[in-house]
């Protein structure tokens, strides 16, 4: 077990890739905190983890709200005494669809930035004081290959996923001296329900992307798990401020 007794907060773990992280990291011995806005989904994932014999806590969290992210950190420490890992996975992605840059409403732009960018920062702010006390901690921001590829027609989303990498690079220099590592992972188009149902997607998007990758297949949520375990584990203690593309060789150009 590579993460035995590590306390891992995963935001947005109620479905899709975050749910995969939660169930797989629990199998590696981690104590999982599901910080998710959708309580029904969060509870369903928690039941699955408990069914596997894992330790899990649900904290209903809106990552865009500072009181809520503070509660996420406080309840984690109350339940498990520490915070070893934060995975900033929550995002507005499901249902965003493809639209020209000038058809995105200001309200949609602001809401997406509040969750995807401000939300990652607020979660970092909430957990770092505890990690400082421990003189150790790991933070992983979830980016996306879309900004490296310059994918058009989802400008707010793509901009937000570039921003979380800038955040990683800059803040790594502010928190490294406390033994806290922060890195980013960049998935390619991954076959979650959100990707499969993206409104306005071109026909055969999955086939097109699979042909563009070096590995010549579509990415599955499981493909991300090994890198997330590595970045959560002691094996990555001297890696910080980095972006790892886990995309089967899609963003190679
Ligand atoms: N699926 C892909 O192709 C892909 C590719 C690259 C990056 N990503 C990124 O990976 C992550 C997961 O992707 P997914 O396909 O599982 O997405 P998803 O939209 O299915 O899941 C996102 C989760 O975040 C939760 N969430 C949304 N707003 C929240 C808030 N304010 N507070 C707390 N939780 C909130 C949702 O309820 C949901 O459970 C996202 O950061 C996404 O941008 C996905």
20-63 pLDDT, tens per residue?
A: 999 999 999 999 999 999 999 999 999 999 999 999 999 999 99
Residue 48, CA distances (Å) to 45, 71, 220 in order: 5, 24, 20
Query: What is the mean predicted confidence (pLDDT) over 197-225?
Result: 95
Name the residue at shortest CA distance from atom 30 of ligand 1: 62
Query: Is 11 close to ligand 1, i.e. is its CB under 6 Å away?
Result: yes
Could you tell me if residue 148 is inside a domain? yes
Task: Yes or no: say if 63 and 90 are a contact pair by the CB < 8 Å rule.
Answer: yes
Mutate to test the pocket of ligand 1, among 10, 11, 15, 17 (most ligand atoms within 8 A of CB): 17
Query: Is 59 close to ligand 1, i.e. is its CB under 6 Å away?
Result: no
Please give the residue range of the domain that contains residue 103. Answer: 7-246
Given a cut of 90, whether residue 113 has pLDDT beyond it is yes
Confidence tier at 121 by pLDDT (50, 70, 90): very high
Could you tell me if residue 251 is inside a domain? no
CA of residue 16 to ligand 1 center, whole Å: 7
CA of residue 89 to ligand 1 center, whole Å: 6
Please, how many CA atoms are within 13 Å of residue 169, restricted to the half-sphere of its CB?
8
Query: What is the mean predicted confidence (pLDDT) over 215-238?
Result: 98
Query: What is the mean predicted confidence (pLDDT) over 192-209?
Result: 94
CA of residue 13 to ligand 1 center, whole Å: 8
Phi, psi of 186 (to 5 degrees): -120, 100
For 122, the token pair is: 């607020």
Q: What is the C-alpha to C-alpha distance for residues 108 and 88, in angstroms, rounded to an integer?
A: 20
pTM of the model: 0.98
Confidence tier at 75 by pLDDT (50, 70, 90): very high
Could you tell me if residue 252 is inside a domain? no
Query: Is 36 close to ligand 1, i.e. is its CB under 6 Å away?
Result: yes
Query: Is 165 close to ligand 1, i.e. is its CB under 6 Å away?
Result: no
Using alpha carbons only, what angle is made at residue 19 by residues 127 and 68, rounded to the nearest 5 degrees? 35
Crossing angle of helices 66-80 and 119-134, rounded to 10° = 30
Q: How far is CA 99 from the centre of its chain?
A: 24
Could you tell me if residue 229 is inside a domain? yes
Using alpha carbons only, what angle is made at residue 23 by residues 22 and 27, rounded to the nearest 5 degrees? 115
Could you tell me if residue 190 is inside a domain? yes
CATH number of the domain enclosing 214? 3.40.50.720
Residues 6+ apart with CB under 8 A from 102: none
- Identify whether 101 is a catalytic site residue: no
- Cβ burial, residue 167 (10 Å; 0-12/13-18/19+): buried
- Cβ burial, residue 108 (10 Å; 0-12/13-18/19+): middle
Looking at the structure of the chain, the number of domains it has is 1
Could you tell me if residue 1 is inside a domain? no
Q: What is the model's pLDDT at position 21?
A: 98
Q: Facing residues of 56 across strands?
A: 32
Task: Yes or no: say if 211 and 249 are a contact pair by the CB < 8 Å rule.
Answer: no
User: How confident is the prediction for the chain on average, in pLDDT?
Assistant: 97
For 250, the token pair is: 């899609």
Q: What is the C-alpha to C-alpha distance for residues 129 and 81, in angstroms, rounded to an integer?
A: 13
Query: Is 187 close to ligand 1, i.e. is its CB under 6 Å away?
Result: yes
Task: Yes or no: say if 83 and 133 are a contact pair by the CB < 8 Å rule.
Answer: no
Phi, psi of 89 (to 5 degrees): -100, -25
Confidence tier at 253 by pLDDT (50, 70, 90): low
Could you tell me if residue 151 is inside a domain? yes
Could you tell me if residue 14 is inside a domain? yes
Query: Is 141 close to ligand 1, i.e. is its CB under 6 Å away?
Result: no
CA of residue 251 to ligand 1 center, whole Å: 20
């Amino acid at each position: 077990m590579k993460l035995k007794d590590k306390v891992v907060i995963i935001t947005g773990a109620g479905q899709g890739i975050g749910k995969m992280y939660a169930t797989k990291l629990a199998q590696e011995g981690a104590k999982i905190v599901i910080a998710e806005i959708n309580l029904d989904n969060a509870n369903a994932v928690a039941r699955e983890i408990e069914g596997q014999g894992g330790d899990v806590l649900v904290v209903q969290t809106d990552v865009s709200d500072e009181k809520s992210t503070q509660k996420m950190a406080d309840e984690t420490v109350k339940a498990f005494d520490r915070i070893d890992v934060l995975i900033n996975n929550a995002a507005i992605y499901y249902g965003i669809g493809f639209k020209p840059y000038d058809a995105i409403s200001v309200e949609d732009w602001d809401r997406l930035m509040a969750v995807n960018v401000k939300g990652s920062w607020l979660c970092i702010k909430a957990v770092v004081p505890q990690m400082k006390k421990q003189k150790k901690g790991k933070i992983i921001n979830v980016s996306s290959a879309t900004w490296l590829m310059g994918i058009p027609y989802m400008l707010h989303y793509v901009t937000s996923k570039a921003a979380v990498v800038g955040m990683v690079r800059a803040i790594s220099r502010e928190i490294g001296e406390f033994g806290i590592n922060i890195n980013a992972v960049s998935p390619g188009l991954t076959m979650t329900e959100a990707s499969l149902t993206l409104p306005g997607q071109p026909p055969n998007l999955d086939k097109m992307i699979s042909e563009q990758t070096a590995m010549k297949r579509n990415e599955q949520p499981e493909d991300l798990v090994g890198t997330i375990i590595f970045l959560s584990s002691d094996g990555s203690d001297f890696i910080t401020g980095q972006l790892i593309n886990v995309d089967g060789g899609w963003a190679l150009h």
